[in-house]
């Protein structure tokens, strides 16, 4: 495995990307690989890379992908558009270095968990917006993922179902604030912005999730369907928030985080990406 650290912002060494690259970059017989950009969750306060980052990257690596784990802007730096700019820069770097990484630049996917799922859905929806591009020299669609994978994602700013802390950080407010306006919350509610430029999505959630309610994924899927955007969605009847791979790689010794039924999402995601 070839690894390196790529810094995505000259002024902020915390915003960076770690690579997980197969050591076959000069082997033309191996063919071009697909790329996976990984975004762990953490409520835009931190990133749970130990469960939703590195193990996920290694799992896709083991299935032939070259992978890129992004540390995007969080906490006091989480106000949009910074996190979307970070992921946009990551995708552009991957595509511009496609030969170096032996990847097909047309097969760059983004996976995110929880708040990282919101960020994945954001780049999949907002990639064409001027404020999301961040680089005036960026070619058309250079920051566009082929599809995104959203795992128990934060999606909506609807106060009946939203993840309050994530949205306050997105808006640049302290989490003690409770009176953000509907207009402010709608600004980053993904289901309000789906268009014909939105990319296909693989979505999974659990019925029992009380941290980020299932309605987030349902509202996202409904909006995708209304705009004719392809998606695949899995709703598992059991399981709490933050299951990650739902196997012994990410269980942390807690039986509740080791669920063979939910763990099937990973295999299904591989089949989904064969379609898109």
A 10 A CB-CB count for 133 gives 21
- Residue 199: both structure tokens together: 């990319």
Q: What's the start-to-end Cα distance of the chain, in Å?
A: 26
DSSP 197-260: TPPPEEEEEETT-SSS-THHHHHHHHHHHHTT--EEEEEESS--S--TT-STTS-TT-GGG--T
Cα 237 from Cα 15, distance rounded (Å): 36
Please, what's the b/e burial string for 13-45 (b: 16 or more CB within 10 A of its CB; e: otherwise)?
eebbbbbbbbeebeeeeeebbbbbbbbbbbbbe
pLDDT at 24: 80
Model confidence, pTM: 0.96
Q: What is the pLDDT along the chain (276 residues), one digit of tens a residue?
A: 999 999 999 999 999 999 999 998 556 556 899 999 999 999 999 999 999 999 999 999 999 999 999 999 999 999 999 999 999 999 999 999 999 999 999 999 999 999 999 999 999 999 999 888 767 788 889 999 999 999 999 999 999 999 999 999 999 999 999 999 999 999 999 999 999 999 999 999 999 999 999 999 999 999 999 999 999 999 999 999 999 999 999 998 889 899 999 999 999 999 999 999
Per 3-state DSSP, the chain is made up of helix, strand and coil in percentages (nearest 5) of 35, 20, 45
- Residue 89: both structure tokens together: 């820069």
Residue 87: enclosing H or E segment and its boundaries?
helix 82-96
Residue 267, SS3? Answer: helix
- Residue 168: both structure tokens together: 């306050």
Residue 105: C-alpha distances to residues 109, 152, 196, 246, 274 (Å): 10, 27, 21, 30, 15
Nearest Cα neighbor of 152 from 109, 201, 203 is 203
Task: Report residue 19: phi and psi, to 5°.
Answer: -100, 150
- Residue 47: both structure tokens together: 């990133």
DSSP label at 42? Answer: S
Is 139:96 a contact under the CB 8 Å cutoff?
no
A 10 A CB-CB count for 156 gives 28
Cα 134 from Cα 118, distance rounded (Å): 19
List of E strands, the chain: 5-7, 16-20, 33-39, 66-71, 103-113, 148-151, 201-206, 231-236
Cα 43 from Cα 122, distance rounded (Å): 15
pLDDT at 27: 60
User: For residue 235, what are the β-bridge partners?
Assistant: 205
The residues near 235 (Cβ < 8 Å, ≥ 6 apart) are: 204, 205, 206, 207, 214, 217
């Amino acid at each position: 495995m070839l690894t390196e650290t790529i810094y995505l912002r000259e002024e902020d060494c915390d915003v960076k990307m770690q690579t997980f690259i197969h050591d076959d970059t000069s082997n033309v017989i191996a063919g071009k690989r697909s790329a996976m950009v990984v975004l762990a969750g953490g409520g835009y306060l931190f990133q749970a890379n130990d469960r939703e980052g590195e193990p996920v990257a290694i799992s896709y690596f083991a299935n032939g992908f070259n992978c890129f784990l992004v540390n995007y802007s969080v906490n006091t730096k989480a106000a949009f558009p910074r996190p979307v700019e970070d992921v946009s820069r990551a995708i552009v770097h991957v595509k511009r270095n496609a030969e170096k990484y032996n990847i097909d630049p047309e097969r760059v996917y983004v996976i995110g968990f929880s708040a990282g799922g919101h960020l994945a859905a954001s780049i999949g929806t907002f990639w064409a917006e001027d404020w999301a591009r961040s680089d005036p020299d960026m070619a058309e669609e250079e920051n566009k993922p082929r599809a995104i994978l959203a795992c128990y994602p934060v999606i909506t700013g609807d106060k009946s179902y939203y993840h309050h802390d994530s949205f306050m950080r997105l808006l640049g407010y302290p989490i003690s604030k409770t009176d953000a306006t509907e207009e402010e919350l709608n600004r980053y509610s993904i289901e309000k912005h789906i268009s014909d430029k939105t990319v296909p999505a693989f979505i999974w959630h659990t019925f029992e999730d009380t941290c980020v309610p299932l309605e987030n994924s349902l509202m996202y899927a409904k909006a995708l369907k209304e705009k004719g955007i392809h998606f695949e969605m899995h709703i598992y009847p059991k399981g709490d928030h933050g299951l990650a791979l739902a196997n012994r790689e990410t269980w942390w010794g807690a039986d509740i985080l080791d669920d063979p039924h939910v763990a099937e999402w990973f295999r299904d995601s591989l089949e989904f990406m064969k379609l898109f």
